[in-house]
Structure 1
Amino acid sequence: MNPAADLAFFQNLYDGVSLYVVPEPANAGATPAMQPEAAAEPNQAAVPAPVVPAPPVQPAPIAASVPASASAPTPKPEPIPQPPVAPAKLPSLANMPLQPTAPPPAAAVPERQPVVLTLAELPAAATAPAGRVQPTPTQSPVAHIPFSTLGSNPNGLIILVRLPENDFRKLPRNVFLNNILKAIRLIVEDVVLVNIEHASYPVALCTLRQTLAAKQFLAFGKNLLDVAVYTTQPYEPVLLFGDTAFLGAGEISMLEYDAGRKKQLWQAMQRMFM
């Protein structure tokens, strides 16, 4: 069969339709007959085949799909995980011993030495009036009269008062008393406060000397010391029995607001201690 003649025949038969003839190999047999239903009719549009959606493609890992030479940004290296560090275990307050912390050693402060007052030359006390019983430093009819004290300096100045218990406890903070002591270079710690607990009787000198060795007395009130009741005058310092200096004055509550009596007291203290 002549292929060129066949081609011309089919071109005339299918006018307007472009045919493509697959060349046969040299050793091939006769060309199979065309199937009538395979030929398309003239001027008939080809029907497109239905589009079947392709199954979704699973995205491959980026490391496998992206070549090494791609311009994608280089991922940052992941930090190397560090092993967890256990927090430092603080000591529990409940298990700590309750011991006070010793303060740092302070500079050594010299202990204040009590001031010993030097007595001036004092006149001797007058003798007791006739008919009056004068107690002695060792015997007295009022030796049983009780008293209370504040202070720890048995060799210091003895201050005699007669006050209610509450007022006596407040006496170390009395401004007037502290000013009087400051004037003779003393403080409250240098003296012993003695409160007579009887409403009218004095305290006995022999009783005081059982616990106190002082020989200097400053009395704020009347009838406070048995050996000075009949032989002394207010604001006149005297020497009793050759070794005991005594100065009587008004009550502290009265002296605080009386400038005249305060002046008298100061002048008497100058004669006694200076």
Structure 2
Amino acid sequence: MDDATPAFYQQLYNGTPLYVVNEPASEPIASPTAVAKPVPAAPAVAAPSVVPSALPVANKQAPEVSVTAPVPVAAAPAGPSRLPSLADLKAAREAVPQPTPAAPMAPAIATPNPVPAPAAAAQPLPQVPIARPPVPFDTLGSNPTGIVLLVRVEPENLVKLQRNVFLNNMLKAIGRVMEECVVVNVRSPYPVGIADLRASGLAATQVLGFGKNLLDVATKRTQPYEPVRLGDVAYLPAAEIEIIEYDNSRKKQLWQALQRMFLG
């Protein structure tokens, strides 16, 4: 056998594991030699002689190959990675736990707003008079059934009113005299009450007021020089006495009002 033959077989069986079939009478042959890991390239040396065994005999046994020594063989280059198949993708998708779909929510039903029951009509509260202390006042005269003259003056000036020329002439014009009248001096900025006057023994059926805010029942319902009737009381409001006696225009207005109240 020439030198080219071993090289040919070496190239032919390069990277292929060799198996030896056990013969019936022979000892078991060790498992094929594992492929050695790739090592750095070494200088080329003469490959050992590999002698192939004889051709298969009549009993159809595999040819026997005698290996004198393991030959380091370079590992075959790794082939391209196998692409995943559709079966692999399906198996991977089935292996991943799928999220459980949420139960469908029932549609919200709008609850009708309760109609409030009609509130009972509010009952008007009874008018309770505001309790206040009685308004103090002074009187001048003794005729309980006469005309009441309401004024607001200083206490020391009260006695002078009985001799007042203007007042005496006014009373004569309507057929009265000062002795038939009672002068009431209100000593408070608040009006005096009819009930308070009658509680003191005065009839108070005809009242002449010379000033503002003198009688409680007539503070907002009267106009100057306009006689009005408030229940069983005839009331005539006018300006202060010291203003009327020096004002002819006001004297005329007062005279016309007195005629409607006493002579009409």
Structure-1-length-normalised TM-score: 0.48
Q: Which structure carries more relative contact order (alpha carbon 8 Å, separation 6+)?
A: 1
Structure-2-length-normalised TM-score: 0.50
Larger-gyration structure (1/2):
2
